[in-house]
């Protein structure tokens, strides 16, 4: 896609701090890191989101993320990595090219806001009803 910032990064038209590349996947450091080592893993084929990306590219991103997560752990000595991926402007996706965030944290670093939410029990009847609705819609 001509006007996609991540497609431009893949093509080298915009500079990036690359950490990994294979036939289907490109990975680079986020320039607004939530924590040191915050890495983005993207498919080389442009796809906006989980609904749009091919299964093959999705698997390639996941496979690469395992290798990259291992590299981050070894290089930075982190204690955990949050894997996060946003789909759609309604959940604050800002760059409309599928990307998996790998956000590491060492135990002595500040807590990651994305991993902290309070647990409030839901309405079990409503949860059951939605589960049935979703289950019936899965092809």
Q: Annotated catalytic sites, by residue?
A: 99
Among residues 109, 52, 56, the alpha carbon closest in space to that of 79 is found at 109
Q: Least separation, in Å, of the C-beta of 128 and ligand 5GP? A: 31
Q: Does 94 bind ligand 5GP (CB under 6 A)?
A: yes
Q: Any idea what DSSP says for residue 112? A: P
Site string for ligand 5GP, 74-93 (x = CB under 6 A): ------------x-----xx
Q: Least separation, in Å, of the C-beta of 136 and ligand 5GP? A: 30
Question: Which residues, numbered 20-49, are part of the site for ligand 5GP (CB under 6 A)?
Answer: 28-32
State the distance between the two ends of the chain, measured CA to CA, in whole angstroms: 29
Q: Does 123 bind ligand 5GP (CB under 6 A)?
A: no
Q: How far is CA 70 from CA 54, 77, 88, 108, in A?
A: 25, 10, 28, 20
Type and span of the H or E element at 82: strand 80-84
Is the sign of the CA dihedral 101, 106, 109, 113 positive or negative?
positive
Check if the beta carbon of residue 54 is closer than 8 Å to that of residue 73: no
| Closer residue to ligand 5GP, CB minimum distance, 15 or 132 | 15
Contact residues for ligand 5GP, defined by CB under 6 A = 5, 14, 16, 28-32, 86, 92-95
Q: Which residues bind Zn ion (CB under 5 A)?
A: 1, 4, 6-7, 46, 97
């Amino acid at each position: 896609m001509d006007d996609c910032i991540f497609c431009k990064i893949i093509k080298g038209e915009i500079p990036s701090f690359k950490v990994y590349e294979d036939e289907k996947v490109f990975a680079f450091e986020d320039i607004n890191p939530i924590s040191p080592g915050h890495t983005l893993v993207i498919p080389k084929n442009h796809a906006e989101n989980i609904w749009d990306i091919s299964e093959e590219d999705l698997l390639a991103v996941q496979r690469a993320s395992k290798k990259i997560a291992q590299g981050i752990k070894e290089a930075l000595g982190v204690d955990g990595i949050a894997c996060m991926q946003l789909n759609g402007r309604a959940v604050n996706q800002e760059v409309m090219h599928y990307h998996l965030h790998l956000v590491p944290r060492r135990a002595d670093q500040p807590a990651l806001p994305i991993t902290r939410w309070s647990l409030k029990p839901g309405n079990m009847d409503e949860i059951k009803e939605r589960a049935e609705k979703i289950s019936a819609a899965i092809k």
